[in-house]
Amino acid sequence: MGINSLKGIGRTHGKPKKQARALDIDQLETIVAVLAGQTTLKAKRDTALLQLGYFGAFRRSELVGLDVTNLQWEREGLLVTLQKSKTDQFGEGVKKAIPFGDGLCCPATALKAWLTAANIHSGAVFRSINKGGMIGERAIQPAGVNAILEASAEMAGLDHIPEFSSHSLRRGLATSAHRSGATLRDIKRQGGWRRDETVQVYIEDASLFDDNAAGQLLRKRQP
């Protein structure tokens, strides 16, 4: 069979696009609980980064690009202003509100704890830490977000670790918020998604077991 024929078959019978697995809220809480049991600067940084990335539905480039000047503390929580964002076409800045939490997760409190422990008052928010525990001046690299999530998920004993990436945080916020009753509009706004279709895919994936025809039949036939 010729190469052109193989390409034609590939176009006709293409493989589904591989997407990052959503990190659901229960899995995030498991990670946060494990990191809370450690007192290292790295643990404080990692829990702050993962929680902020999750509840702010930030892209990894946005996370590592955060500067202290982008943060504004309010009575209700944290206000983050992104100077550069994929969805900010006119360079006006994008604002995201991160409310205080009253449960295991509270990204605003975790971030403040990291900044205080690391004595960071200006410059990059999330910085590299060497094996000796010394904090660098520069921000971590975007790939570092993936590494932090992978290491934290492994430490927490989660399954499907190879399927997680930084996008799991954004997708996880969308799916878990939908399951908690958040509207498409609110999810779209928090994540900075421009297209309804993108969020709708996440919501549909999160709802595959809801109102499921097979599930209705299986439950009906239970003795």
The CA radius of gyration of the chain, in Å to the nearest whole number, is 20
Cβ proximity of 105 and 120 under 8 Å: no
Tens of pLDDT along the chain (223 residues)? 554 544 454 444 555 556 799 999 999 999 999 999 999 999 999 999 999 999 999 999 999 999 999 999 999 999 999 976 555 455 567 899 999 999 999 999 999 999 999 999 999 999 999 989 999 999 999 999 999 999 999 999 999 999 999 999 999 999 999 999 999 999 999 999 989 998 988 887 777 777 777 877 787 665 6
Q: What is the pLDDT of residue 92?
A: 63
Which CATH number applies to 19-207: 1.20.1260.10, 3.10.20.600, 3.40.605.10, 1.10.443.10? 1.10.443.10
> How is residue 35 written in tokens?
């990191």
Closest CA to 148 of 37, 64, 222: 64
Q: What is the pLDDT of residue 12?
A: 46
List, in sequence order, every residue forming a beta bridge with 79; answer none if it has no partner.
72, 97
Rounded CA separation 147/72 (Å): 28
> How is residue 135 written in tokens?
């904090």
Q: What is the pLDDT of residue 9?
A: 46
Rounded CA separation 196/103 (Å): 30
CA distances for 102 relative to 38, 39, 220, angstroms: 21, 21, 39
> What is the enclosing helix (H) or strand (E) of 30?
helix 25-36
List, in order, residues 6 or more apart from 76 with CB less than 8 Å away. 97, 99, 100
> What is the enclosing helix (H) or strand (E) of 80?
strand 77-82
Number of residues that this document lists for the chain: 223
Domain-wise residue ranges, the chain: 19-207
Q: What is the pLDDT of residue 221?
A: 61
